[in-house]
Amino acid sequence: MPNLNDILIMLPEFYLVVAACLLLLLDAFMKSTERPMLHWISIAVLLVGIYLVIAGQPAQTVTAFGGMFVRDRVAEILKVFALLTTAIVFVYARPYLIDRKLVNGEFYTLMIFAVIGIMLLVSAGSLVTVYLGLELLSLSSYALVALNRDARLPSEAAIKYFVLGALASGMLLYGMSMVYGASGMGGTPTLDLAQLHHVTSYTTAPKLLLFGLIFMIVGIGFKLGAAPFHMWIPDVYQGAPTPVTAFIASGSKLAAFGMAYRLLDAGMGDLAHQWQLMLAVLAVLSLAIGNLVAIVQTNLKRLLAYSTISHMGYLLLGLSAASPEGYAAAMFYAICYALMSVAAFGVILALARSGFECEEISDLKGLNQKSPWLAFLMMLAMFSLAGVPPLVGFWAKVLVLESAIHANMLWLSLVGVVFAIIGLYYYLHVVKVVYFDKPAEGSVLAAKPDGSLRIVLSLNALALLALGLFWGPLLGWCRSAFGL
């Protein structure tokens, strides 16, 4: 029987489940004219969630439900930023949803359920919790992609996402079953990640364990969107409603990092020498495919999709170091990436209006003439993604490169910088379109008058600059999570 203490440890998650259910009820009994209220209520729900995560943080790592759920600093930091970026996405989404008459409870409840999935995933102490969190996040995401169900492109994207996602889940589950089996050979079978850590020392089936690991890495690679498991990313990014894309590109990536960390370090830490090289290969492939294919994209959302793939390559650089420094660097990277990409999508959302998605790169022509402030914010986001100082994206890259060198993988860091040069081109291309091109004839570019969006977007993009100048505290926080 779960005791009160277990529930208290999981209070933020329980609170969000209750809140999401209440939101659904509220939605059902609300008049359609009152619906926009849901927006503010949902943001408040997430902000209270952040408060609960921070306020209830125990002094040291605690576990609940017999080790199924771990509450430590890694989880805390990831949860705070997942909730924060989702709240930002809500703010950005409002005018977009109103224009397209999509304002209803489904969007908000599904998003909150997805966030609960993220929170479970990053707090997972057992293979079952990993799978549970992952499925909650994934199923909510599938539905979110298909939110605009009458349109062809989103439906296509959702089907693709679902089919490939199901396949990846299957792979992951298959791998988990092998690991579970291997743990039972020569000992008691276990799903607990902390106990799985020691399986290598006694199992009589090391090959089975290794096979399980490989299948689990496929699942992780899919969730991260690392090449060669990246196929779904471009279509889903382009097809999904832009706010949903923003969410998949930000909060969801934090979850993927959390999942990789839990499975690989907590669960399979003893096999680090095995998975290090696998991750390095994934990193090189992601860097190559992401950066090279992005060059030829004309659709901004698709471009950002390939950019995601390349950024996951950098994140993997940090993970493959398999050291606390490397994890801290990768977590710093994941957080910075979430903030950068959500800012880039924020600019798209600030410009989109009914009948105009603003998702072609050429749609941004002459933005500096029409709205210099938005152009400036877009420039900050692009230079940060490209990794040009003094923006925070640069320091994130420096950190993962350093951790790769630290792990005696100088070659990997060289691959990383070479692709940073190639990647620079397409980010500069966007800046070029925004700043150097003249507005097209009859261009309808104009900033949305939505006040909250403007303020939050400005804060979001300026945070990239501010964090670039003062990245010490965030790094210190990330490092403290790994005991540094």
Partner 1 sequence: MFTHLLSLLIWLPVAGAIPVLLAGSKRPNLARWLSLIVAVLTFVVSLFLLVQYQPDAGGMQLVENYLWIPSWGVHYGLAADGISVALILMTTFVSILVIVGAWEVIQDKPHQYMAAMLVLEGLLIGVFCATDALLFYALFEAILIPMFILIGIWGGPRRVYATLKFFIYTFFGSVFMLIALLYLYQKAGTFDLATLAALPLTMKEQTWIFFAFLIAFAIKVPMVPVHTWLPDAHVEAPTGGSVVLAAVMLKVGTYGFLRFILPITPDAGAHYAWLVIVLSLVAIVYIGYVALVQEDMKKLVAYSSIAHMGFVTLGIFIAFLLMRDPASVDMAKLGMQGAMIQMISHGFVSGAMFSCIGVMYDRMHTRQIKDYGGVINVMPWFGFFYVLFAMANCGLPGTSGFVGEFMVILASFSANPWIALFAAFTLIIGAAYTLWMVKRVLWGDITNPHVAEMKEINGRETFVLIAFAAAVLALGIWPQPLVHLMDTSVSHLVQQLAIHKI
DSSP codes, 442-458: T--------HHHHHHHH
Q: Which x/- pattern, by CB under 8 A, does the window 270-289 give for partner 1? A: --------------------
Triad 122, 15, 249: Cα angle to 5°:
40
| Complex with partner 1: residue 186 or 472, whichever CB lies closer | 472
Is 62 a binding residue for partner 1 by CB under 8 A? The answer is: no
Q: Among 308, 471, 481, 482, which residue sits at the site for partner 1 (rule: CB under 8 A)?
A: 471
> Which one of 157, 193, 420, 481 is in contact with partner 1 (CB under 8 A)?
420
The CA-based angle 37-51-457, given to 5 degrees, is 60
Q: What is the CA radius of gyration of the chain?
A: 21
| Residue 452 dihedral angles phi and psi, to the nearest 5° | -65, -35
Per CB under 8 A, 475 contacts partner 1? yes
Of 383, 392, 456, 467, the one binding partner 1 (CB under 8 A) is 383
* Assigned token pair, 442: 């009859």
Quote the tokens at residue 85.
Answer: 């970026």
Closer CB to partner 1, 35 or 432, in the complex? 432
Whose Cβ is closer to partner 1: residue 6's or residue 402's?
402
- Work out whether 425 is an interface residue with partner 1 (CB under 8 A): yes
Quick one: which of 244, 347, 401, 445 contacts partner 1 (CB under 8 A)? 401
CB 369 to partner 1: min, Å = 8
Cα 423 from Cα 310, distance rounded (Å): 8
Q: Is 459 in the site for partner 1 (CB under 8 A)?
A: no
The residue (of 238 and 413) whose beta carbon lies closer to partner 1 is 413
Stretch that binds partner 1, among 22-30, 202-210, 294-302, 389-397 (CB under 8 A): 389-397
Residue list 104-163, contact with partner 1 (CB under 8 A)? none
Nearer to partner 1, 223 or 397 (CB): 397
Q: State in angstroms the smallest separation of the CB of 42 from partner 1.
A: 35
Spatial distance between the Cα atoms of 263 and 190, rounded to a whole number of angstroms: 14
Phi-psi region of 356 (alpha: psi -120 to 50; beta: other; left: phi over 0): beta
Retrieve residue 142's tokens.
Answer: 């599938």
Among residues 21, 44, 418, 446, the one that binds partner 1 under rule CB under 8 A: 418
- Which tokens go with 35? 């619906």
Interatomic CA distance for residues 376 and 379, integer angstroms: 5
User: Could you give the CA distance from residue 297 to residue 360 in angstroms, rounded to a whole number?
Assistant: 9
| Cα angle 255-261-267, degrees, rounded to a multiple of 5 | 125
Q: Which one of the spans 242-250, 280-288, 314-322, 402-410 is the region binding partner 1 (CB under 8 A)?
A: 402-410
Q: What does DSSP assign to residue 280?
A: H
324-351 and 451-469 helices cross at what angle (nearest 10)? 150
With CB under 8 A as the contact rule, the residue among 38, 394, 430, 457 that binds partner 1 is: 394
Is the CB of 12 or the CB of 366 nearer to partner 1? 366
CA distances from 71 to 59, 87, 194, 265, 363 (A): 10, 22, 13, 16, 45
Rounded to an integer, what distance in angstroms lies between the CA atom of residue 195 and that of residue 191? 8
Residue placing its CB nearer to partner 1 in the complex, 21 or 484: 484
**Distance of alpha carbon 271 from its chain centroid, rounded?**
25
For residue 428, state whether it binds partner 1 (rule: CB under 8 A): yes
Which residue in 388, 462, 463, 466 binds partner 1 (CB under 8 A)? 388
Determine how many CB atoms are found less than 10 A away from the CB of residue 197: 16
> Binding to partner 1 by residue 51, rule CB under 8 A?
no
DSSP 3-state percent helix, strand, coil across the chain (nearest 5): 75, 5, 20
> Which residue from 435, 439, 443, 458 is in contact with partner 1, where contact means CB under 8 A?
435
Q: How far is the CB of 435 from partner 1 (least distance, A)?
A: 6
User: How many CB atoms are closer than 10 A to CB 32?
Assistant: 8
**Residue 482 in contact with partner 1, rule: CB under 8 A:** no
Output the smallest distance, CB 480 to partner 1, in A.
9
Kindly tell me which residue out of 210, 431, 445, 464 binds partner 1, with binding defined by CB under 8 A: 431
Q: Contact between 398 and partner 1 (CB under 8 A)?
A: yes
To 5 degrees, how large is the angle CA 135–CA 23–CA 251? Answer: 40
CA distance 30 to 98: 16
Question: Which H or E element spans position 71?
Answer: strand 69-71
Q: Which of 166, 402, 452, 463 touches partner 1 (CB under 8 A)? A: 402
**In angstroms, what is the minimal distance from the CB of 392 to partner 1?**
11
349 or 481: CB nearest partner 1: 481
- 378 lies in the binding site for partner 1 (CB under 8 A): no
Min CB(404)–partner 1 separation in Å? 9
Exposure class string for 90-108: b at 16+ Cβ within 10 A, else e: bbbbbbbbeebeebebebb
Q: Which residues bind partner 1 (CB under 8 A)?
A: 368, 372, 383, 388-390, 394, 398, 401-402, 405-406, 410, 413-414, 417-418, 420-421, 424-425, 428-429, 431-432, 435-436, 471-472, 475-476, 479, 484
